[in-house]
Amino acid sequence: MSVQSVESDLQKSVAEARARLDAQVREVVAWHFDPQTGAPFWIEYAQGLGWDPRKEVQSYADLDKFPWFQDEWLRGGPVRRWVPRAYADQPVYVFETGGSTGIPKSRINISDFRTDYELFSRTLADDAFPRGADWLMLGPSGPRRLRLAVEHLCQHRGGICFCVDMDPRGWSLIKSRRAAARDARSTREHVVNQGLTLLRAHPNIQCMFTTPKLLEAICDASRWRTRGSRACSAAARSSPGSFTGSPGRNCWRARWRSCPRTAIPSWGWRATSRLTRLTGTR
């Protein structure tokens, strides 16, 4: 294949991708600024622009015609101004930021967390995260969407999700006022103890969604406090994400197996020496 042919195919692919993107932009803008389907906020917003987004925005580049979005608009209510009229009869969830800079910023959610985590489920190997296995959700709950998302992930894979209540927003605000490291330690110990209690009481919990620090603390506690307890093994992998959508920044999934402390499989974490010690490998 000649260089000219490759360049021609590449240019064609780029043009087709740009056309699909522009078509999607037109569809999204038309839907959100239609008084029959759009959210009250955007319908009112369009009235103050002095031009009709449905007519003026015909491509991705045309999005530059909009002023910058002000995230301060997300603070406070009524949150129903963000609910599209097409979904007015649907159950609505509210997810919020930590609130450390003032009134928490809110966003509404209807079903996208289910869609996101069903897609995420396709990336999990069944040998590491068995279908039908129960899960332990040991991570941010409170105003976040993460608990609901992980619970749906577990159910989607045929399991039951056990959750430990953990609201980092409340604790972070308390800690910032007290400025005391012991608060962080006591909170971690409390959460870890609850997690260990569930792991010991429910043998079908084979998968876990948590933060790296809590996972390390659980592995250390289960190793040194109880001989022959469930040991951390296999398939712990990072999952980049954000508040807006994907599976949990700085969260890990770890499979658990019943095995003595001295028989932890060597195919555990090998990424760094700090993590390797959790599985007993060298």
Domain interval for residue 26: 12-109
Task: Specify the number of domains making up the chain.
Answer: 2
Of all residues in the chain, the percent with pLDDT exceeding 90 is: 41
Q: What is the mean predicted confidence (pLDDT) over 101-106?
A: 88
The answer to the question of residue 222 being in a domain is yes
> What is the rounded CA–CA span in Å between residue 156 and residue 167?
24
The pTM (predicted TM-score) of the whole model is: 0.66
Amino acid at position 38, single letter: G
Residue 271, pLDDT score: 27
Asked if 217 and 184 sit in the same domain, the reply is: yes
Average pLDDT over residues 50-71: 95
Q: What is the pLDDT at residue 267?
A: 25
Whether 30 is in a domain gets the answer yes
Q: Are residues 199 and 97 in the same domain?
A: no
Q: For position 172, what pLDDT does the model report?
A: 54
Claim to verify: residue 133 and residue 207 sit in the same structural domain: yes
Same domain (yes/no): 262, 169: yes
The confidence score (pLDDT) of residue 15 equals 94
Q: Does one domain contain both 103 and 116?
A: no
As a whole number of angstroms, the distance between CA 171 and CA 190 comes to: 12
Confidence of residue 81 (pLDDT cuts 50, 70, 90): very high
Is 2 a domain residue? no
* CB-count burial class (<10 Å; 0-12, 13-18, 19+) for 271: exposed
Domain boundary among 75, 109, 143: 109
Does residue 4 lie within any of the structural domains? no
Q: What are phi and psi of 124, to 5 degrees?
A: -90, 125
Verify that 176 and 104 share a domain, yes or no.
no
- Asked if residue 172 is part of any domain, the answer here is yes
* pLDDT interval class at 228 (50, 70, 90): very low
Q: 11-25, 185-199, 231-245 — which is least confidently predicted?
A: 231-245
Q: Do 181 and 269 belong to one domain?
A: yes
Burial class (CB in 10 A: 0-12, 13-18, 19+), 264: buried
- Classify residue 211 as exposed, middle or buried by CB count within 10 Å of its CB (0-12, 13-18, 19+): buried
Domain C-terminal end among 65, 90, 109: 109
68 shares its domain with 143: no
Residues 158, 236, single domain; the answer is: yes
Can you tell me the distance from the alpha carbon of 181 to that of 179, in angstroms, rounded to the nearest whole number? Answer: 7
Are 214 and 273 members of one domain? yes
> Quick one: average pLDDT of 103-111?
89
Pair 227, 253 in one domain: yes
Measure Cα distances from 79 to 76, 235, 248 in Å.
7, 39, 24
Residue 164 — pLDDT band, cuts 50, 70, 90?
Answer: confident
Q: Percent of the chain at pLDDT above 70?
A: 71
pLDDT of residue 177: 54
Domain stop point among 84, 109, 134: 109
Give pLDDT, residue 166.
Answer: 73
Average pLDDT, integer, range 257-280: 29
Q: Are residues 140 and 260 in the same domain?
A: yes
